[in-house]
Chains A and B, each alone.
Chain A
């Protein structure tokens, strides 16, 4: 029992750190997307050329194109924020010492959903980026690049693991409830 209490204290302490990290990320991630589109004309091409061959990129981008780009970025951004917000909520439960509950399983399912959405929206976003970056080119030099990389595959695998964890968490909740009702 004493070991359990010590571990619970450690979990609570570490969760405070993760909770803070996800709180910061919720502010930093949208800021990163905004700054990316505001400063895109001043960024080195190596940072932005992963969506199309460098020869097809046409810079600087007009304000209209940058606004369109930022609008497109809202898709993966919203999925990412949804995921981070749920992780933050998960750690707020751990912070309070609640390890297993119905809500935990639900949060893991939501995180898995956010990862799948993020993956799909990232593919769309990168396709939109390739169009925006080459739209000022003469006809014949405009590109649309749609692709799936190892990053998307990894994200989908992590989403699958999160979904599986949700199932395990639900089983844990049943055991925890049973333990609470053992006198």
Chain B
């Protein structure tokens, strides 16, 4: 899929741990891992909203469109 999730990069910049973020946005660490590793098929607006709020970023910082090689 040409959509890449850069959540781990943003988290590293904000020095936020998975367990902490998962707790703040109200999802399980396992689901956050699915999102971070790019295995997720969809993301809810509510999840995206919570991530952006707690990481102080925009959706474009987390989701990136990359052309297929």
User: Could you tell me which A residues sit within 8 Å of B by CB distance?
Assistant: 178, 181-183
> 20 A-B contacts, Cβ less than 8 Å apart?
A178-B42, A181-B34, A181-B39, A181-B41, A181-B42, A182-B40, A182-B41, A182-B42, A182-B43, A182-B44, A183-B27, A183-B31, A183-B32, A183-B34, A183-B35, A183-B40, A183-B42, A183-B43, A183-B44, A183-B47
* Residues of chain B contacted by A183 (CB below 8 angstroms): 27, 31-32, 34-35, 40, 42-44, 47
C-alpha gap A181/B47 in the complex (Å): 13
Interface residues of B in 1-56 (CB under 8 A from A): 27, 31-32, 34-35, 39-44, 47
* Total of A-B residue pairs, C-beta within 8 Å: 22
A182 → chain B, closest Cβ, in Å? 4
Question: Which residue on A lies nearest to B25, using beta carbons?
Answer: A183
**Shortest beta-carbon contacts, A-B, top 10:** A181-B41, A182-B42, A183-B35, A183-B31, A183-B40, A178-B41, A181-B40, A183-B43, A183-B47, A183-B34
C-alpha gap A178/B35 in the complex (Å): 13
* Residues of chain A contacted by B41 (CB below 8 angstroms): 178, 181-182
* Residues of chain B contacted by A182 (CB below 8 angstroms): 40-44
